[in-house]
């Protein structure tokens, strides 16, 4: 089993945090020491970054917040814009060093990306650069809604074009009204060259431990 996974998605708001936390619970249930990492979090509510709080709660080991979340940005904007407004320059090498430190405390590190795979982080770097520097297998979260086929296939293409391995994908039912959901999933199963780790149905009250049971991490190398 690898030392970590980079979680990306077809867009923002499609369930990367949900899947990241579920993966943490799934690995923990298999006896592994796990920790979640959110390199860049944008959008603070009442002094908290919800994604970071959820990842910390799902981890079995603890680490300083500066390692778990090196860049905590207040504006709920694209990371490069939020960082510029905060007079901060996002440096992927800082995130890489934090990841190396987290590896000392946990057997598996689940790293949740920000936005989509190619979202800009600064004038020089984007999400693909970060994933490439970390050099981990990528897990793609596909938000099941109209348009997801194109978004998923383009993201998978971008991952491979950056020399990274697509370790698996998760189908997340974000739209309860989506038509032909099963047919869309089947299409992606045929076209994505990696295992489907699980299908998460649309639910209002999400119990992360229960959702983790829907994921088959045995498919991950």
Active site residues: 38
Supply 186's token pair: 């089947």
CB atoms within 10 A of CB 162: 16
Q: Which two tokens stand for residue 202?
A: 């649309």
What is the rounded distance in angstroms from the CA atom of residue 20 to the CA atom of residue 71? 18
Residues ≥6 apart with Cβ < 8 Å to 57: 21
In angstroms, the CA 191 to CA 172 distance is 17
Positive or negative: CA dihedral 33, 38, 44, 47: positive
Distance CA 130, CA 118 (A): 10
């Amino acid at each position: 089993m690898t030392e970590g996974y980079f979680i990306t998605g077809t867009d923002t708001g499609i369930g990367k945090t949900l899947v990241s936390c579920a993966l943490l619970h799934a690995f923990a249930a298999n006896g592994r020491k796990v920790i979640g990492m959110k390199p860049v979090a944008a959008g603070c509510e009442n002094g908290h970054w919800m994604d970071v709080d959820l990842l910390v709660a799902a981890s079995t080991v603890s680490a300083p917040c500066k390692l778990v979340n090196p860049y905590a940005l207040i504006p709920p904007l694209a990371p490069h814009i939020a960082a510029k407004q905060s007079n901060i320059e996002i440096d992927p090498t800082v995130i890489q060093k934090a990841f190396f430190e987290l590896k000392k405390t946990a057997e598996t590190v689940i790293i949740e990306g920000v936005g989509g795979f190619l979202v800009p982080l600064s004038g020089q770097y984007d999400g693909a650069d970060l994933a490439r520097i970390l050099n981990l297998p990528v897990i793609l979260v596909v938000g099941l809604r109209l348009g997801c086929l194109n978004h998923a296939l383009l993201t998978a293409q971008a991952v491979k074009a950056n020399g990274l391995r697509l370790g698996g994908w998760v189908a997340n039912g974000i739209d309860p009204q989506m038509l032909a959901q099963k047919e869309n999933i089947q299409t992606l199963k045929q076209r994505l060259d990696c295992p489907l780790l699980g299908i998460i149905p649309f639910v209002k009250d999400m119990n992360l431990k229960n959702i983790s049971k829907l994921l088959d991490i045995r498919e991950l190398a």
